[in-house]
């Protein structure tokens, strides 16, 4: 899923270039008592740590001490370099503490993404079949080879298994590979794909919230100078035009939301992604075909899934969309604080500007009142007009910066909602509220029908009505910043328990310390023994 978040990244790149300034319950809370990334202040917080159950479905398929081929399958919009670090380190002794294995890494291939998932799977199958023919000609066993796939690549690989072991009824000993290992693949669908239209709303909101204050301040600081009839000098202070800043920003950001964001979204989520949205027909067929199919059920399969810290999840994840994990040395794409630090600086600047313009507004408002500019006698005098203009401009500015502060505080939650890592659960409690002139009672009831319209109290008849109170609880789920852990870990027919990769975001998983540990365990036979691959 190399560019699954590209639309949001596009927005972020544009807005973070302002480093010198740089349908959900509301925006940020901000009463200015919180901080960057504090979240949407709705309901009580609860965090759901995902712990998948163990798997007891051993494949029973033996490994080999001979050299085998590993096909490294890339994800959405990936390329032949997507797995370059891990593939090279697995074949050659180039990474400290990570012995090379007796294998040949095959990365020089790709597959179509403009067609359906099964068409991509068929293309992958043709590549593997060609390698199989070569191996058979050399007297080698291609069924000892296996696939290591990232993200969408895992679903494409499962599609190939579906074509061969389910729809094609091919015998396992006639296949060009004998096992599958997935990393961060959305086996039960990617919620983000179902919600990709929400990126337009988030992009538009981000644009407006972070541009309004700086744009208004720029206009306020620029005096318009010109000559009337070519010789009469005229000067109009920028504060006269500040009220138009919000209108201008809204027009630009609405265009960005309605035109640019959908264009980028559609370009970066090609046709293939429709087949692994949550609830996709093909995904269900692939999952259902496992029932009673021993060849598919016992085919060696292991799923690895990443768990990224929930705090600043979006910025941790997006870092490795903005820069490739393959740009780092072997298994060293570990730091993910770069964007957090950058956005903290911008948040602090917005806070500083908010306080500056809020204080200026209060001072001008005090001056306005002390000069009695609100009276009809002084209201239209030039001094009062000037004070009022500057005061109103200051108000627009502090309100603009406040919108930016609120967005900084809430943006992580808004991103989590899109990928499914945050849910708001609505709770309704019913009460029977009764009263008369001298009595009052309020009793919680299980159902509105339990509240009668009248009842007798201690001092006579009481009139009653049903009242309800609505609260929200927020539930945060584990994820790699793109795919929920509950989806990436749930590989149907897995022959070994899913493997956690802590402190690992979706794109980081292809070259970090957790991958190093995960591959070491895989090659040492610590998962399904089929994947044991001896050191060179």
pLDDT in tens, 46-59: 666 778 878 888 99
415 lies in the same domain as 348:
yes
Domain of residue 460, residue span: 422-477
274 lies in the same domain as 378:
yes
Per-residue model confidence (pLDDT) at position 342: 84
407 lies in the same domain as 439:
no
Tell me the C-alpha distance between 406 and 481, whole Å.
Answer: 22
387 lies in the same domain as 471:
no
456 lies in the same domain as 527:
no
Q: pLDDT tier at 20 (50, 70, 90 boundaries)?
A: very low
Cβ atoms within 10 Å, residue 210: 30
Rounded to a whole number of angstroms, the distance between the first and last alpha carbons of the chain is 32
257 lies in the same domain as 275:
yes
Mean pLDDT of 452-474: 92
466 lies in the same domain as 492:
no
Task: Work out the mean pLDDT of the chain and round it to a whole number.
Answer: 85
Mean pLDDT of 444-473: 93
pLDDT in tens, 260-304: 455 455 556 678 999 999 999 999 999 998 877 889 999 999 999
> Is the per-residue pLDDT at 156 higher than 70?
yes
Per-residue model confidence (pLDDT) at position 505: 97
389 lies in the same domain as 468:
no
Q: pLDDT tier at 24 (50, 70, 90 boundaries)?
A: very low
305 lies in the same domain as 447:
no
240 lies in the same domain as 375:
yes
> Which of 477, 496, 520 marks a domain boundary?
477
Contact in structure between 212 and 403 (CB atoms under 8 Å): yes
> Which of 440, 458, 477 marks a domain boundary?
477
Tell me the C-alpha distance between 200 and 254, whole Å.
Answer: 9
Per-residue model confidence (pLDDT) at position 26: 46
How many domains does one find in the chain?
2
> Which of 456, 477, 498 marks a domain boundary?
477
315 lies in the same domain as 233:
yes
In the block, tokens 């870990």 appear at 489
* Coil, strand or helix at 441: strand
Mean pLDDT of 484-488: 98
Contact in structure between 413 and 422 (CB atoms under 8 Å): yes
Q: Which is more confident, 313 or 239?
A: 313
């Amino acid at each position: 899923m190399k560019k699954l978040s590209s639309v949001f990244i596009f927005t972020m790149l544009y807005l973070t270039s302002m480093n010198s300034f740089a349908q959900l319950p509301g925006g940020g809370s901000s009463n200015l008592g919180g901080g960057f990334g504090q979240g949407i202040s709705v309901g009580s917080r609860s965090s759901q740590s995902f712990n998948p159950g163990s798997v007891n479905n051993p494949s029973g398929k033996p490994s080999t001490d001979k050299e085998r081929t590993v096909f490294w399958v890339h994800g959405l919009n990936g390329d032949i370099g997507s797995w370059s670090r891990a593939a090279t380190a697995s074949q050659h002794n180039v990474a400290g503490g990570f012995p090379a294995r007796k294998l040949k890494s095959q990365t020089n291939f790709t597959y179509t993404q403009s067609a359906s998932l099964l068409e991509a799977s068929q293309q992958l199958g043709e590549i593997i079949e060609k390698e199989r023919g070569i191996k058979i000609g050399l007297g080698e066993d291609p069924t000892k080879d296996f696939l290591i796939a990232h993200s969408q690549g895992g679903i494409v690989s499962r599609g190939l298994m579906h074509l061969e072991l389910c729809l094609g009824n091919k015998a396992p000993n006639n296949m060009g590979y004998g096992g599958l290992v997935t990393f961060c693949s959305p086996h039960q669908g990617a919620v983000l794909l179902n919600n990709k239209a929400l990126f337009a709303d988030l992009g538009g909101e981000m644009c407006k919230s972070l541009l309004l204050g700086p744009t208004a301040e720029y206009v306020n600081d620029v005096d318009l100078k010109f000559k009337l009839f070519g010789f009469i000098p005229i000067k109009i202070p920028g504060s006269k035009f500040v009220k138009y800043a919000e209108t201008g920003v809204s027009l630009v950001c609405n265009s960005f939301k309605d035109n640019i964001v959908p264009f980028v979204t559609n370009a970066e989520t090609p046709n293939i992604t429709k087949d692994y949205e949550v609830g996709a027909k093909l995904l269900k067929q692939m999952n259902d075909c496992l029932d009673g199919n021993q060849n598919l059920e016992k085919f060696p399969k292991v799923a690895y899934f990443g768990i990224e810290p929930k705090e600043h999840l979006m910025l941790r994840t997006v870092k490795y969309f903005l820069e490739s994990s393959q740009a780092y040395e072997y298994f060293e794409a570990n730091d993910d604080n770069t964007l957090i630090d950058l956005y903290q600086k911008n948040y602090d600047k917005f806070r500083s500007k908010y306080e500056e313009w809020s204080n200026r507004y209060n001072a001008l408002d005090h001056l306005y009142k002390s000069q009695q500019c609100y009276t009809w006698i002084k209201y239209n005098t030039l001094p009062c007009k000037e004070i009022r203009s500057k005061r109103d401009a200051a108000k627009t500015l502090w309100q603009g910066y406040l919108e930016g502060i609120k967005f900084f505080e809430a943006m992580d939650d808004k991103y989590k909602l899109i990928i499914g890592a945050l849910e708001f659960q609505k709770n309704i409690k019913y009460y029977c509220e009764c009263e008369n002139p001298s009595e009052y009672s309020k009793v919680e009831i299980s159902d509105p029908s339990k509240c009668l319209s009248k009842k007798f109290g201690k001092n006579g008849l009481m009139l009653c009505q049903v009242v309800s109170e609505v609260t929200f609880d927020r539930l945060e789920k584990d994820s790699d910043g793109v795919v929920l852990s509950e989806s990436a870990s749930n590989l149907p027919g897995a022959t070994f328990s899913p493997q956690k990769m802590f402190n690992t975001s979706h794109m980081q998983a292809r070259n970090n310390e957790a991958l190093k540990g995960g591959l070491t365990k895989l090659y040492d036979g610590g998962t399904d023994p089929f994947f044991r691959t001896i050191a060179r």
